[in-house]
Chains A and B, each alone.
Chain A
Amino acid sequence: MSPIKGSKLSISHIFSRPILAGIFSFVFLFLLGCFLLYQRYQIIRESEEREMVGVMDQVEKNLNNSLKDSYSVALSMGLLIDDKGNIKDFDQNAPQLLEQYPVIDVVQMDPGGVIQEVYPLKGNEAVIGYDILKDPKTQKEAYKAIDAKKMYFAGPIDLKQGGTAVVGRLPVFKDNRFWGFSAVIIKLESLIEQAGLKELARDKYLFQFSKIDAITNKERFFIENHLDRDYNVVETIILPDGDWKFYIALKNPKETFYELIPLTFFILLIAAWLSWMVILLFKQPARLQKLVDEQAGELINSELKFRTIFNQAAIGMVRVETPTGKFLETNQRFRELCGYEEEELKNMNFRDLTDPVEVDKNVALMNNLLNGEIREYSLEKKLIQKNGNILWIKLSASPLWKEGFSGNTHIAIIEDITERVLAEDELMRKEKRYRALVENGAEVVTIFSKEGWTLYSSPSGEKLSGYSEAEFKAINLSTLIHPEDSKIFQKQLQFAIQNPKQPVLGDPVRLINKAGEWRWAEYTITNLLEDPNINGIVGNFRDISEKKQAEIHLNSTYQTVMEQNRRLLNFSYIVSHNLRSHSSNIQAILSLYNTSDVEEEKLNYIELLSKVGNALNHTLDDLNEVVSINTNLDLNIEPLQINAFIDKTIDLLQMQIIKKGAIIKRDIPDDMIVKFNAAYLESVFLNFLTNALRYREPVRKLEVSITGYKENGSWVLEIADNGIGIDLKRHRDKVFGLYKTFTQIPNSRGVGLFITRNQIEAMGGSVGVESEVGVGTVFKINFK
C-alpha cells in the first residue's frame, strides 16, 4: 500500500465518518475563535494603557503648574528681603500673593532656617521660632535644597499646626551666602485636587502617590487604597522636585476579561452549530444514495406489479399507440372480451373493433390526449367482437407520459358494461312508461306528508286542479277539502297512518280547484311513510265530478219523480175516494128508491140525488182546479216584485182587515223580485192572508208579519200570524192535504192550502209551516 493511497484513504475515511469531521471542525473553529478573542483582548488592553498615559500626562502637567506657581510665590517673597537681610512689608505682600495663587495655602519666611514670618498667622502661631535645620526630621531635606541651590519640595509631612502638606523651600542666598528659606506650604488635599486626580480618576482608575522617605529611604504611600502594584500598576510619573512618584491603575482590571466571557460562549455555540452542519453535509451523500436505492427497488417492484396487474387483471387492458390507434400490447381479459388472439391483435387497430359511427369521436379524444389538452378520458361505446356480436364497454384511457412531456402511447382500461347498459335501458323504458302513465292519467298521483303538505304531485294534478306542483307544495291539503268532507277525509287519513302499506279507499270528497270550484274526487291513500323511496303518503285522486253531478242530478230527478208519483197517488186516491163517495151515494139512493113503494119517500130520494149532483159538481170543480195547476205547463212566468203583489192583496182584503182590526207589518226589500206566474202569486198571497184573517185568535188583536229575505242565495218569504195555530203533532202531514181541516170553524173545506202548495211547487218553490196552538203560525215560502 503506497503512502498516497493511504492518505487518500484517510481523507475518504474522514469523509465517510461525518462525526469525526464534525469534531475536527469544532476544535478548529473553537481555537480560531479563541485566538481572535485573545487578539481582541490585547487591543483593549493597549487602548486602556494609552488612555492611562494620557491621563498621567494631564496629571503631570497640572502638578508642574502647581509647582511653578509655588516657585513664583517663593521667588516673589525672596524679593522682599532687603540688602541688610531684613524682611520688608511681608504682611502687605503675603495676602496679595495668596490671593493670586490660591493653590498655596501658607507662606513662610525662615531666615537662617528658623521660621520668622508666617501668613496667615492664625492657626500657625506654633511654628514661629521653629528651627528647621536643627530638627532631624526636616533637616535632611532642607539641606538637600541648600545643596542643590534650588527649590525642593519636602514632605508630605505632618504639620505642626495639623494636617499633611508639602513644603516647598527655596534657599535664598545673599551675596553668595545662605540667608534662609522662602517657603510655601501646599496642603496635600489641595495638591491632589490641583493635579485633577479626582476628576480624572472617576470610577475607572485608582491613583497612588508615593515618596522615598529621606530618612528611611523607604517608599511611603499617601493615598488610602488597595492598589496592588504588581498587577495593577500600569503607568508612573516621577517628579524630581520632590522625589515623588505617581501611580495610575485600572480600578477593575478584570472587567475586560469578564466582558469577553459571553463572547466565548457565543464562539462555542457557533463552532458547535457549524460542526453540526458539517456532520449533516457529510451525511447527505449517504442519504441520497439510500434514497436512490430505495426508489430503484420500488421501481422494480412496481414494474413487476404493473406486469402482473396488466396480465391478470379482471378488466381488459390495452397499450395503444396514440397517434395511430394500433394495439401494442393486450392482456388476457381484453382478448377474451374481443375474441381475437394476441397475434391477430398485433396487426390490428382500434377501428377494427369499433362501430364506424363512433370512430371519429374516439379519434378526436385521442388527439386531445396527444396535444396534452386532456389527461384522461372515458367513454361508453360498443365493442365489435370477432364473431360480430356487440358488447357494451366502458373505456378509460390515460397517457403513458408525464404531464407537460410528450409521448405516443396510452393505456386503455376496458370494462364490460353490457348488462348494466341493458338494465339501464330497461329501467329507462320502464321509467318512461310509468311516467307516461302517471303524467297522462286522469288520476292525480300525489305524495304528501302526515301533516298534509304536498311533496310531489303528478302533472295531471295541474290539469285537473289548476295548481302547479310548486303551488301545491305551498298549500296544505286540508285547506283544499270542503269543510263538510274534512272529517271523513281526516278519519281515512288517520286510518291510513295507523295501517302502513294498506291502500285505503275513501268516500268521495269535494276539493276546491284554483278557479274556486268544488270538484268531487274519489281517492285511495296508501301510507308509505316507512318506504325510504317515498317517505310519504301516496294519494291517488280521481275527479269524479261529472259522475257525481250525474248522480246528484239523478238523485234529484228521482226525488222529483217520487214526489210527483206521490202526488199522483194522492191525487188518484182523492179522485177515487171523492168521486166514489158520490157514486156510492147515488147507488145507495137508487137502490133505496127502487125498493121503496111510498111515493113521498121516493120524492125525497130524488131530492137527495140532486144534492149529490151538486156535491159532485163541487168536487169536480175542485179537482179541475188542481189538475189545471199540475198540468198547465205553458204558464207565463215573469219576474214579479213581491211588494207590489202584497200591496194588491192587502187592497183586496182592505175591508176585512179594517173590520177585524188586524195589523199587518211588512219588511220586504224592494229588490225582492221572483220569477212566478202572476195569477198564482195573487192566489197564494190571498190564500195565506185570508187564512190568517179567518183563523185568528178572537181574544187578541191579529198581527200579521210579512218578511222577505235571502237564504243561501234564494228569496224567502215568511208570513207569520198570532192566530189559533195548528197542532202539528197531529196534523203535520195533513196541513197541505186536500179536504183536510183542523178546526171547527165553518166553511173550512180543506182546499185553499192544497191549491196554494200546488201552485208554489208548480213554480219550482216549496212551502213549509211552523205552528203552535194558541200562539200562531208561520208559513215559509222558498222561491226558486
Chain B
Amino acid sequence: MKMNVCVIDDDQIYQLIIRKAVERAGVYDSICFYNDGSEAFEDLLNSKKVLPALILLDINMPQMDGWQFLDGLIKHRPDFDRETTIYIVSSSIAFSDRTKAESYKQVSGFLSKPLSVEKLKEIALKHQK
C-alpha cells in the first residue's frame, strides 16, 4: 500500500519541485501541501482528521515555524506519532537545528534540502508496512 505524503513549507518553488520529485519516485499515493505551520496546525488539530502517513516539515516559516507546529501537535494530539512519520526538511545546515530535531522522539530524521528522488524512495521503503 502506497503512503500518502504531506509537505508543510512556505517556499512555493520548493513545493513545485517536491511535487515533481514525489511523482518521479512513484512510491507515494498522494501529496498535499500547507503553506505555513499555522495552516497545517489548524487543519490537523482535529483528532478526527486522519493524519497523512508521512509529513515533511520545514523549520523556517513566517507565522508558525516547524518547532511551534510540532509543540502544538504534541500538546493537542499526544499520540500522533503512532499515526504518522515526521521528517524535518530544511535548507538549514545549522548544527543546532539538527540537534534540536534529534531531541524530539516524534521526529524520525533531519533531512537537508534538496531532497532527491532516491531519498524519497528510501524513506517510503523504510516506513512502508
Contact = CB atoms under 8 A, between A and B. Distances in A.
B1 interface: no
A588 B114 contact: yes
A577 B91 contact: yes
Contacts of B116: 588, 591
A585 B11 contact: yes
Contacts of B16: 608
Nearest to B12: A611
A476 interface: no
Nearest to B68: A730
Which of A581, A585, A589, A748 gathers most chain B CB within 10 Å? A581
Contact of A739 (B60, B90, B115): B60
A587 B114 contact: yes
Interface stretch (B17-25, B74-82, B98-106, B121-129): B17-25
Interface in B1-50: 11, 13-14, 16-17, 20-21, 24
A581 B14 contact: yes
A316 B68 CA distance: 104
Interface in A737-777: 739-744, 748, 750
A608 B17 contact: yes
A387 interface: no
Interface residues of A, number: 28
**Chain B contact residues, majority secondary structure:** loop
A748 B61 CA distance: 12
A595 B91 contact: no
Given A595-B24, A740-B62, A748-B62, A580 B113 contact: yes
Given A588-B115, A742-B63, A576 B14 contact: no
Given A588-B114, A592-B24, A612 B91 contact: no
B92 interface: yes
B112 interface: yes
A563 B89 CA distance: 29
Contact of A591 (B13, B14, B64, B114): B114
Given A588-B21, A591-B114, A608 B13 contact: yes
A581 B20 CA distance: 17
A24 interface: no
Contacts of B90: 577
Interface in A585-627: 585, 587-589, 591-592, 595, 608, 611-612, 615
A584 interface: yes
Interface residues of B, number: 24
Nearest to B113: A584
Given A577-B90, A577-B91, A589 B62 contact: no
Nearest to A586: B114
A565 to B, nearest CB: 14
B93 A581 contact: no
Nearest to A587: B114
A573 interface: yes
Nearest to A611: B13
Nearest to A580: B91
Contacts of A750: 62
A591 B90 CA distance: 18
A742 B64 CA distance: 8
A741 B68 CA distance: 14
Contacts of B63: 741-744
Nearest to A743: B63
Contacts of A587: 114
Contacts of A585: 11, 13-14, 17, 113-114
Contact of B60 (A577, A583, A592, A748): A577
Contact of A576 (B21, B24, B92, B115): B92
Nearest to A576: B93
B26 to A, nearest CB: 13
B117 to A, nearest CB: 8
Given A581-B91, A584-B112, A608-B16, A739 B62 contact: yes
Which of A584, A612, A740, A741 gathers most chain B CB within 10 Å? A584
Given A581-B11, A585-B114, A576 B94 contact: yes
Nearest to B17: A588
A569 to B, nearest CB: 9
B93 A580 contact: yes
B41 to A, nearest CB: 11
B13 A615 contact: yes
B13 A612 contact: yes
Contacts of B117: 591, 595
Nearest to A744: B63
A615 B14 CA distance: 12
A592 B17 contact: yes
A166 to B, nearest CB: 172
Contacts of A584: 14, 91, 112-114
Contacts of A741: 62-63
Nearest to B16: A608
Which of A580, A588, A612, A750 gathers most chain B CB within 10 Å? A588
Nearest to A748: B62
Nearest to B20: A592
A149 B26 CA distance: 223
A748 B38 CA distance: 15
A589 B11 contact: no
B8 to A, nearest CB: 15
A691 to B, nearest CB: 15
A348 to B, nearest CB: 103
A615 B13 CA distance: 10
Contacts of A612: 13
Nearest to B112: A584
A750 B10 CA distance: 13
A620 to B, nearest CB: 15
A588 B90 CA distance: 13
A564 B94 CA distance: 19
B32 to A, nearest CB: 19
Contacts of B115: 588
Which of A580, A587, A608, A740 gathers most chain B CB within 10 Å? A580
Contacts of B94: 573, 576-577
Interface in B46-69: 60, 62-64, 68
Contacts of A730: 64, 68
Contacts of B112: 584
A578 B94 CA distance: 12
B37 to A, nearest CB: 11
A238 to B, nearest CB: 173
Contacts of A573: 92, 94
A773 to B, nearest CB: 14
Contacts of B91: 577-578, 580-581, 583-584
Nearest to B94: A573
Nearest to A614: B13
Contacts of B93: 576, 580
Contacts of A588: 14, 17, 21, 113-116
A549 B57 CA distance: 50
A580 B17 CA distance: 15
Contacts of A591: 114, 116-117
Nearest to A742: B63
B94 to A, nearest CB: 6
A608 B13 CA distance: 7
Contacts of A581: 11, 14, 60, 91, 113
A297 to B, nearest CB: 117
Contacts of A608: 13, 16-17
9 contacts: A576-B93, A576-B94, A581-B91, A585-B13, A589-B13, A591-B114, A592-B17, A592-B24, A750-B62
Given A577-B60, A739-B62, A741-B63, 16 more contacts: A576-B94, A577-B94, A578-B91, A580-B93, A581-B91, A581-B113, A584-B113, A588-B14, A588-B21, A588-B113, A588-B116, A589-B13, A591-B114, A592-B21, A742-B63, A744-B63
Q: Which 4 residue pairs are nearest across A and B when measured between Cβ atoms?
A: A588-B114, A584-B113, A581-B91, A741-B62
Interface of B: 11, 13-14, 16-17, 20-21, 24, 60, 62-64, 68, 90-94, 112-117
